[in-house]
Structure 1
Amino acid sequence: MNVISTEIPDVLIIEPRVFGDERGFFFESFNEKVFLDKADNSVRFVQDNHSRSCRNVLRGLHYQIQQPQGKLVRAVVGTIYDVAVDIRRSSPTFGMWVGYELSAENKRQLWVPAGFAHGFLVLSDVAEVLYKTTDYYAPQYERCIVWNDPDLAIAWPTDEPPILSTKDQAGSLLTAAEVFA
């Protein structure tokens, strides 16, 4: 596995070594030892999630203000644009975001630590996304920052308005959002 740093040091891209031939391919999608050598060595995954969405669906920007979740995200069908926003007020990268294309083809994963808002936009006809989390889903603590916050100015790769849930349409601006210390 190749672990690549991003513009926000705590967010990592993980690229597996893929072994392929005429029969198909094999790769190690997770190796705890390699992951913990590069990420916070106290990380423990407790839940796996699987979502399926159609083209132009945007999910996010989500986080849990209590029981914060670190997420290891990958697309197993299709392609997404995956975004992490640092919402740790004491961080030197507070309010910064990074975005990367994750696809079934490139097999990349994005490590989004606790303390970040997370979202993705589906670029293919359909995408299935798997992600491991470091804490359990707690809807009472879930918060959402609006996808098009002008202060964040996320460069979502779409020319048309995305398809949003009612919850995501009602997201807060970062300036009004409950964030981490």
Structure 2
Amino acid sequence: MRNEEDCSKIHRYLFSDMYLSDKAIELSKKATIKRFADRNKDEFYHRYINWKRKENEIIIFTLYAYADLKINKEFDCIFNINDPDEFVFEKFTLTQSIYEGWAPTDTVDNGHKNLLVFKFENEIPKILFKLHKEETHGDTRPKDHIKLGFCNQKDFEAIANGLKKYHLLREKYGTEYWKYEDEEIEE
């Protein structure tokens, strides 16, 4: 179990490279129903199965969470991982988590992938629609696709600086970039 406070500020973000269309959401729900045919169905199962997406909600697929998080966690920043100068500040709440894409739960577990439902105070920011829109219950992402990060403003400067350094080191040293992480970078 890893708490958010135990995670370095530069790594305190969730990241995603796709969101689900309404068609893909229905396919996901059908797959969850099938997998739970002989299992106990708790409140999180019923919440997801009965959920109808509202205009200010989106479901995204996140990769490898940085810490253990509980649903109803609030965020307020979305940014482009390859270009952290592209970002928006907008309040939103994580309202549901579907562990590894098939088991609704009340947590996002460190190191795992999840489908997450985000609810925005206002409309869904346009930056989110830069993600790949998945229409299936599979993975049809193109080879080159955008990744977005989700964090809180209080951590964003450290995250953005860390990503900029990462990109500069990757450009300079390729896959051996990690050997030079302690190096000072001049911009």
Alignment TM-score, normalising by the size of structure 2? 0.24
* Structure number with higher helix proportion: 2
More strand by share: 1
Structure 1 or 2, whichever has the larger Rg, is 2
